[in-house]
Amino acid sequence: MDKPTLLLLILVLTTAGYYFGRKRSLDIVSGKVQELHSLPSYYGYYLAMWVGVPTLLLLLIWLGFEGAVLSRLVVADLPGELQGDSGERAALLINEIRNTMAGAGSGSGDPSIQAAANHYRHLQAVSDWLLSLGVIALAALGGWFGHRQIEVEQRARNKVEKGTMVFLIACSTIAIFTTVGIVLSVVFESVLFFQKVPVTDFLFGLRWSPQMAIRADQVGSSGAFGAVPLFTGTLLISFIAMVVAVPIGLMSAIYLAEYASPRVRTVAKPLLEILAGVPTVVYGFFAALTVAPYIRDLGQSLGLDVSSESALAAGLVMGVMIIPFVSSLSDDFINAVPQSLRDGAYALGATQSETIRQVIIPAALPGIVGGILLAVSRAIGETMIVVMAAGLSANLTANPLAAVTTVTTQIVTLLVGDQEFDSPKTLAAFALGLVLFLVTLMLNIAALMIVRKYREQYE
């Protein structure tokens, strides 16, 4: 049996287990459900668990190890001259054998490869057969055991509940382990990078020129990996974005939460949130094709020297993109300020703007700050707009009219095109990614801590 059929079989067996478990429980008490500890369906689930879980585990484990074991067996049986000595060659061989099996035909000329392919196919069949046998045996064993366990006093419900909990834990662990895996891979690659380029050079170097010599005598053979221009570029653009987003977002939030009539609010708030739904690449070409030339023309008419790709253009558009973040979160937090505080201020004779400035904003401030921090981390991590509108030149400047580049942009450019995975140029991307990750992580944690503290204050 091949694997999909086997999976189907397991499902069928599990369903059967459910029905037999249910029936068994009813038979025990001859239909008097009240005498059972749990409802009959729980006994069904219980038996189904005994059938389904071990067999599925077996299937998964088998799938995990089958390829490696079979390959090893096939390679071991190859004639000595083909085996070679390096692991890489073995991997190539396996690929070739598999291709032959699939009938792709590349390298099928070699008879020994052909033989190996046949051998492989044979082993595969045996493995499938063994697996089917194992699954059926395990299902039978589990079914028998579970069936025997069903008694009047058996606490099937509690066990099924526990089983459900374990399943849910497993699901959440997958998400956590994926994150941990990503972090670890970034960290390992970064360590490789730092073996080639010292950490201090990376963090404090003032020149960014990430190329490596292919020939030793090439001009500019030594690349420079000082990330400071990237950091300052990122900060500059984020700063411009926040200068745009925070006042506009906050004030629109105040308007929506405090002044707007319910009708205006129901229309305006979703409209504002549409901004958040615009794909960033659209913002990107808007910034590059509309805003940047406009700013350049404006600058020229004022006699300023503006590069066609400027931090200002990217920052402005990014700020617009972030407005809904700030306004939506601030709006939520302003609304979360209890009505009783407003009443208290009004009852003292405060006007609406006094109430907002002196009572509501201070009360909502922690939440607003948290929302702004989240927006900042979003701005730092933003890529598309900057790639398209801010340029690629790593200038160390605070002039918003100049072209700058950011961490994310550089990661993109480093990884676009053909890469050598052991050159510092490529590995630098991982180091930059690690820095980015740490910074946004800290911002997020800070934001969440502030927000949580605020939540506790007003239940």
Partner 1 sequence: MNSLLELKTAMRDERTEVKPAKRLGTNVSFDRDYGDTVGEVTASNARMVCRDVNVFYGPKQAIHGVNLDIGRNEVIALIGPSGCGKSTFIRCLNRMNDTIVGCRVTGSIQLDGQDIYDPQMDVVPLRAQIGMVFQKPNPFPKSIYENVAYGPRIHGLTQNKAELEEVVENSLRRAGLWDEVKDSLDQPGTSLSGGQQQRLCIARTIAVNPEVILMDEPCSALDPIATARIEQLIDELRMQFTIAIVTHSMQQAARVSQRTAYFHLGKLIEVGETAQVFTNPRHQLTEDYITGRFG
Query: Please, what is the angle between helix 311-336 and helix 292-301, to 10°?
Result: 110
Q: Token match 């598309």: residue?
A: 384
256 binds partner 1 (CB under 8 A): no
CA pair distance 147, 139, nearest whole angstrom: 12
| CB neighbourhood size of 59 (10 A) | 18
Instruction: Tell me which stretch binds partner 1 (CB under 8 A): 32-40, 66-74, 298-306, 340-348.
Output: 340-348
**Is 135 or 364 the residue whose CB approaches partner 1 more closely?**
364
Q: Which of 331, 365, 378, 366 is nearest to 448 (CA)?
A: 366
Give least dist CB 265 to partner 1, A: 12
CB proximity list for 63: less than 8 A, separation 6 or greater: 3
**Alpha-carbon distances, residue 181 vs 194, 412, 432, 441 (angstroms):** 20, 21, 17, 16
Residue 259: what residue type? Answer: Y
Residue 338 interacts with partner 1 (CB under 8 A): yes or no:
yes
Whichever of 64 and 262 has its CB closer to partner 1, that residue is 262
Closest CB to partner 1 among residues 198, 338: 338
Compose the 206-245 pattern: x for residues touching partner 1 by CB under 8 A, - for all others.
Answer: ----------------------------------------
Q: How far apart are CA 389 and CA 399, in angstroms?
A: 15
Q: How far is the CB of 337 from partner 1 (least distance, A)?
A: 9
By beta-carbon proximity to partner 1, the closer residue of 109 and 262 is 262
Q: Whose Cβ is closer to partner 1: residue 40's or residue 367's?
A: 367
Interface with partner 1, residue 77, by CB under 8 A: no
Owner of token pair 């404090």: 204
User: What's the CA gap between 57 and 354, in Å, rounded?
Assistant: 65
Would you say 303 or 349 has its CB closer to partner 1? Answer: 349
Contacting range for partner 1; rule: CB under 8 A; set: 105-113, 182-190, 335-343, 381-389: 335-343
* Collapsed DSSP state (helix, strand, coil) of residue 186: helix
Interhelix angle for 407-415 vs 228-254, to 10°?
120
Asked whether the beta carbons of 167 and 41 are under 8 A apart, the reply is no
C-alpha closest to that of 295 among 307, 281, 283, 285: 307
Cα separation, 425 vs 419, whole angstroms: 9
CA distance 383 to 234: 10
Shortest spacing between CB 332 and partner 1, in angstroms: 17
Which part of the chain contacts partner 1 (CB under 8 A), choosing from 42-50, 95-103, 333-341, 411-419?
A: 333-341
Q: Which two tokens stand for residue 167?
A: 């399943």
Q: Which of residues 261-280 bind partner 1 (CB under 8 A)?
A: 261-262
Min. distance of Cβ 347 from partner 1 in angstroms? 4
Which tokens sit at 272? 């504002």
DSSP state of 288: I
Stretch that binds partner 1, among 61-69, 176-184, 295-303, 341-349 (CB under 8 A): 341-349
Q: How far is the CB of 341 from partner 1 (least distance, A)?
A: 5
Tell me phi and psi for residue 351, to 5 degrees: -80, 175
Q: Which of 34, 86, 172, 340 binds partner 1 (CB under 8 A)?
A: 340
Give the shortest CB-358-to-partner 1 separation in angstroms: 7
Inter-residue contact 313 to 291 (CB < 8 Å):
yes
d(CA 393, CA 404): 6
Instruction: Please report how close the Cβ of residue 348 comes to partner 1 at its closest, in angstroms.
Output: 4
Binding mask 343-382 for partner 1 (x = CB under 8 A): xxxxxxxxx--x---xx--xx-------------------
Tokens found for residue 39: 């409802």
DSSP state of 209: E
CB closer to partner 1, 359 vs 387: 359
Q: Distance (Å, rounded) from C-alpha 87 to C-alpha 98?
A: 17
CB of 455 to partner 1, least distance (A): 14
Nearer to partner 1, 111 or 349 (CB): 349
Closer to partner 1 by CB, 5 or 358: give it. Answer: 358
Nearer to partner 1, 369 or 392 (CB): 369
Complex with partner 1: residue 341 or 439, whichever CB lies closer? 341
The residue behind tokens 């668990």 is: 49
Check binding of 459 to partner 1 (CB under 8 A): no
Task: Say how many residues touch partner 1, by CB under 8 A.
Answer: 21
Residues that bind partner 1 (CB under 8 A): 261-262, 338, 340-351, 354, 358-359, 362-363, 457
